[in-house]
Structure 1
């Protein structure tokens, strides 16, 4: 039996990275028809009901999913590796944002800055606590501070996903305040 948590993880995988794994087609804005998702999920051997899907969306601790106003379509809020344009508006961020990582990546970040890796954007958090939680998923967290005014001054545009994650294509090292060693 697949738990709701496992189903949520599968949804993230399908809606962010591998819609082809169950034969889904994501439109250019990241949306998938809810009815199609339920049918394709069942076809892949994962029984997912409409009620379970709505519960996952409502109770997701990180609000990873967005429903259209009519609740007929669903998409991942951010974190895609597939080619989508969420059409998130440009917004002015708070003066400071945070990024959670682990020590393993620090040398690379000091050299290259924050890069999206397999995703489309770098993810930044509005709170230090959230960044710590993100970093802790991979080990002892290291929290980096990003002052946003210099980035704005130099022409960078910030977008904010429906669940409050701030997105940028990259953050060069000169804009990152690193913790003391």
Structure 2
């Protein structure tokens, strides 16, 4: 499998497991898990056939570890980023003192006014390091990297969760917890 093929499969899995399972008539359970065997059969039906080994390669090699198998690899789900209603069942945890968020310049004005909002997703996504936040923010142009006073937020009652792939999640980040000096 080429890198390009793996990327295409990853994008399709992100679409189906995070946003539109109906594209494959796929049913996700309350925690976002899909049956691997059913997924593979439905992908074949839609002319997107892959083997289990190829699926396993995409899960293991994805640079952001977007997907996870259950212990016996009979179920798969996206680790975060859902726009559909599911419960990832993550436990609230104490965050580090600072987390980071990369965003295009065009979004700075609304962020200054309202903070970071989850919009159509379940959570705001934050990174533990500037490098990761830069990669995330660069998807839509030159990013600005914001520093978030996560521990201060935690002390004021904001909950934080860590996804299986190390992405920090929270419901929103009010402007007073954001340092708008670009960290790049």
Any idea what SS the aligned residue of 1:74 has?
strand
Shift of 1:174: 0.8
Partner residue in 2 for 1:98: 100
Partner residue in 2 for 1:154: 156
Alignment of 1:57 with 2:59, yes or no, is yes
Q: 2:9 aligns with which of 7, 10, 35?
A: 7
Alignment of 1:32 with 2:60, yes or no, is no
Distance 1:148 1:65 in 2: 25
Alignment of 1:68-147 (within 5 A): 68-147=70-149
Name which of structure 1's ranges 39-48 and 98-107 shifts more when overlaid on structure 2: 39-48
TM-score, normalised to structure 2, is 0.95
Q: 2:167 aligns with which of 161, 165, 168?
A: 165
Distance 2:69 2:58 in 1: 11
Partner residue in 1 for 2:68: 66
Gaps of 5+ in 2: none
Any idea what SS the aligned residue of 2:172 has?
coil
TM-score, normalised to structure 1, is 0.97
Any idea what SS the aligned residue of 1:82 has?
coil
Gaps of 5+ in 1: none
Distance 1:11 1:96 in 2: 31
RMSD of aligned Cα (Å)? 1.3
Any idea what SS the aligned residue of 2:57 has?
helix
The count of corresponding residues between Structure 1 and Structure 2 is: 180
The structure 1 segments of at least 4 consecutive aligned residues displaced by more than 4 Å after TM superposition are none
Deviations 1:121-148 (A, max 9, x none): 0000000010011111110010000011
8 Å contact from structure 2 (residues 97, 152) kept in 1: no
Partner residue in 2 for 1:23: 25
Distance 2:48 2:10 in 1: 11
